[in-house]
Amino acid sequence: MKISILPLMVIILTFVGGFISGTLYSNTQKSKTMAASAEAAHSTKIPGLKKEPQLKKQKAKVLIGYVQDFRKPEEIDYKNLTHVIFSFAHPNSDGSLLMNGDHAVKNLRAIVTNAQKHDTKVMLAIGGWYHIKGGESYDYFKAAISNSVSRKKLVHELVSFAKKEKLDGIDIDFEHPRSTEDAQNLAVFAKELSEQLKSNGKELSIAVNAKVHSVTGTEIQSVVLEPSMFKYFDHVNLMAYDGQWDGEYNAANLSPYSYSVNIVAYWTKLFDQYGFSRKKLVLGVPLYAQPEDPAIKQVSYEALINHHPDNAGKDQVDMNGTTYHYNGHSTLKKKTNLALSHQLGGMMVWETGLDAKGNHSATALISGELKKQEDPRYYIRK
């Protein structure tokens, strides 16, 4: 019997084609499965890279501004300050703490609220020259830190107040230790206060007499300090002004550049000797002018500028029937660069309420000089 070849060829080609198609489909699916498995295995072993955290710039240098408790909180230059130190709380002899009325506490709270908007820290200064009850703070402060009971109470009150009012720390302004016993008691107080503050994530600073005679350039022996205590402080604010009282009254010695040079030399040598970081040191400048006639009151830097804007470029001016001495913009720049060139931690002003507003602001000027020196090594992760 004769069989047709064409139908046979169709059957064979259909069979072979199906076999090949099935094989290709199977291999394709196997490849996809293997690829999916490999991808899954890769995801399990090597997670996707996390996004790099944003970097926040840490201010390399501080600019600390003291502010008196009666100043208007809304007028403080928060954006140019790293720290505002509210002045003052007053110590009682028994270690209790006094504020200058409800209005002072209200102002402090407003300052804390405003400062938070600019990442500016707020600290409370205790002490100062005058006491709310009259006279010098010295006797009250000395009594409070001279025995363990009242000292412990003062430490407790300060730390509790700082926590309650959401402060960033405490500043000590004991003007001024006058004996070895005073100095030792201050050191013990600093140690105990530091331990309590640091455990709560808060800072401790101190305002100190410049310890240098504005006329002779020699060390002032009447102010006694225990150098070892400086290890407890984050900032040591050098009150490099009021030199007019050294020797016979001379307004020109308020705070000339040469005076700051001697002060920086004294304190950097002391800190190097004891192995303390110079970054703790903060150079202070005055925002007021001293009259040659001591019967006439000091005037603010703002008053000088309001009298004539050109006074910003001077260090002395004739006004109110006398000659005033102060630090103009050029001297403030020189002092800021003096601090920077000696690796100090920054600058301090007394006090912010005395500053001029707008383009002639001394605070803004100093802040600008400090920002020029900011170092990228001070960038930190959020």
How far is it, in rounded angstroms, from Cα 283 to Cα 342?
11
- Among candidate residues 254, 243, 182, 258, the one with its CA nearest the CA of residue 210: 243
Cα Dmax for the chain: 146
**Taking the mean position of all CA atoms in its chain, how far away is CA 103?**
25
Ranges of residues in the chain with a pLDDT under 70 are 1-59, 374-382
CATH homologous superfamily for the domain 56-375: Glycosidases (3.20.20.80)
- Among candidate residues 129, 159, 125, 157, the one with its CA nearest the CA of residue 144: 157
Query: What backbone torsions phi and psi does residue 67 show, to the nearest 5 degrees?
Result: -140, 130
pLDDT for the residue numbered 60: 84
Upstream peptide bond of 342 is cis (omega within 30 degrees of 0) = no
The helix (H) or strand (E) run that includes residue 87 is strand 83-91
Kindly state the tokens that stand for 229: 């205590």
Upstream peptide bond of 176 is cis (omega within 30 degrees of 0) = yes
pLDDT for the residue numbered 379: 37
The pairing of beta strand 281-286 with beta strand 288-291: unpaired
**pTM for this structure?**
0.83
Query: Do residues 100 and 53 lie in contact, with contact meaning Cβ atoms separated by under 8 Å?
Result: no
How far is it, in rounded angstroms, from Cα 42 to Cα 170?
54
Query: What is the DSSP-derived secondary structure letter of residue 3?
Result: P
How far is it, in rounded angstroms, from Cα 213 to Cα 229?
23
What is the chain's length?
382
The helix (H) or strand (E) run that includes residue 163 is helix 148-164
pLDDT for the residue numbered 373: 78
Query: What is the DSSP-derived secondary structure letter of residue 117?
Result: T
The CA-atom distances, in angstroms, between 290 and each of 37, 300, 307, 347 are 82, 9, 15, 21
